[in-house]
Amino acid sequence: MRLLAFTIALVHTIAALGEEPARKLETLLLLPEPRAMRTALSTAPEGSKLTVLTPARESASNSSKIETYTEDAFKALGLSLDTFIKRAATSADKRLAALKPELIRDDQGRVLYAVYRGESELFATLLLAPSLPKLFEPMFGKEIWAALPDRHALYLFPAKSPSLNEFTEDLAERFHSDPFAASPEIFSLQEGRQPRVIGAFTGPEE
């Protein structure tokens, strides 16, 4: 019996060693969301009229969801808002490095746009990754335009791309139909600069 018990314990130990450790929840997120959802901690991107960036974290009760910080919970972090924003950008860069975008091509094989998307609500937060413009510079040039209609996707286009004009109705539908909308605005991304708004694909209540 002792040998049997020892064998069972050994099997469980080996199995446990083979398991991947649980992923650490992200606690340093800047969540793009409609201006109507702003809190006292929210900041507005340059040029924005319809979007705010709000400190957020993955929910401890449901890691597929994001929750914004209350003022008390944010104070408990012991960070200034500026420090949080800087660390959130670093965190976004780390997530970006682990992902591969889907490239949408035309009939000639040219890339029309790129998209990061999935079930996670973290995709829209990649907008703040400082390395994003440099990563796509060889493909799209020094300036890229970004759209994030909901939390589940980040679309990237060459600046002034005709493909973006053709895609605006779909982006607007995604923004208005998703209960976790992110932004109806279009962002310009350039290396060394913070994202800035240069237009919108829809109004907040169109």
43 backbone dihedrals φ, ψ, rounded to 5°: -125, 160
What does each C-alpha distance from 34 to 46, 70, 93, 148, 156 come to in angstroms? 15, 17, 23, 11, 19
pLDDT of residue 61: 76
Token pair 């003022």: residue = 71
Q: State mean pLDDT over 164-186.
A: 94
Half-sphere exposure of residue 138: CA atoms within 13 angstroms, side-chain side: 2
Look at 12 and 147; give whichever has higher pLDDT.
Answer: 147
Q: Which residues pair with 190 in a beta bridge?
A: 143
pLDDT at 177 over 90: yes
Q: State mean pLDDT over 116-123.
A: 94
pLDDT of residue 203: 74
Q: State mean pLDDT over 132-148.
A: 96
Q: pLDDT tens digits, residue range 16-50?
A: 445 545 668 999 999 999 999 999 999 999 999 99
Q: What three-state secondary structure class fits 53?
A: strand
Q: pLDDT tens digits, residue range 94-110?
A: 999 999 999 999 999 99
- From 66, 67, 32, select the one nearest 50 (Cα to Cα): 32
What does each C-alpha distance from 111 to 89, 101, 157, 184 come to in angstroms? 27, 12, 9, 23
Instruction: Return the CA Rg of the chain.
Output: 20
Domain positions in the chain: 29-200
Residue 6: band (very low, low, confident or very high) from pLDDT cuts 50, 70, 90: very low
Q: Which residues pair with 46 in a beta bridge?
A: 196
- What size, in residues, is the chain? 206
Cα of first residue to Cα of last residue in the chain, in angstroms, is 72
Report how far residue 77's alpha carbon sits from residue 112's, in angstroms, rounded to the nearest whole number.
42
pLDDT at 179 over 70: yes
